[in-house]
Amino acid sequence: MISDELKEIIGRIKAQGKMSFLESATEEQIAKFERENDVRLPEKYKEWLQYSDGGDLYLPAGVQLCGVAHKPLIDLEDYDRPDDNFIVVGALASGAPVLFKKNEEKFFIYDHESQELDDELTYDNFFALINDLYDLLGIGE
């Protein structure tokens, strides 16, 4: 079920730019992905997947997100991350990966050139990241 908080976020980002949302994933598809890959996805990211199982936000130069049932799929072997404790779920147009740390809710933008996680690009949860994308991407400046 989509919360009022997510509905508000979706409405705001739709008003801010062009989006390409993919078909939603079901709770069963999400649970199957977690079970088959022995991973727990962050709660707010799972809620997002039930709205859009991946997609492109702020086209043309925004962010691509991966899903669990529709391509592009989350690649658990993506090596563009600090270490094996992180899972990449997308990337900014710059190539910087969007990721979360296993068994945590926090999301990060990883600077693969410096190979560091920037405290200023650390988010308490997926919704906080989505709320910051407009400013992060420098849209409207």
| d(C-alpha 12, C-alpha 5), whole Å | 11
CA-closest candidate to residue 114, choices 90, 101, 97? 97
> What pLDDT sits at residue 125?
98
Q: What is the CATH topology of the domain spanning 4-136?
A: SMI1/KNR4-like (3.40.1580)
Distances (CA, A) of 83 to 39, 65, 69, 108: 15, 20, 25, 13
Binning pLDDT at 50, 70 and 90, where does residue 113 land? confident
Domain limits, the chain: 4-136
Neighbours of 28 (CB within 10 A): 9
pLDDT, residue 139, reads 82
| Exposed / middle / buried, residue 66 (Cβ in 10 Å: 0-12, 13-18, 19+) | buried
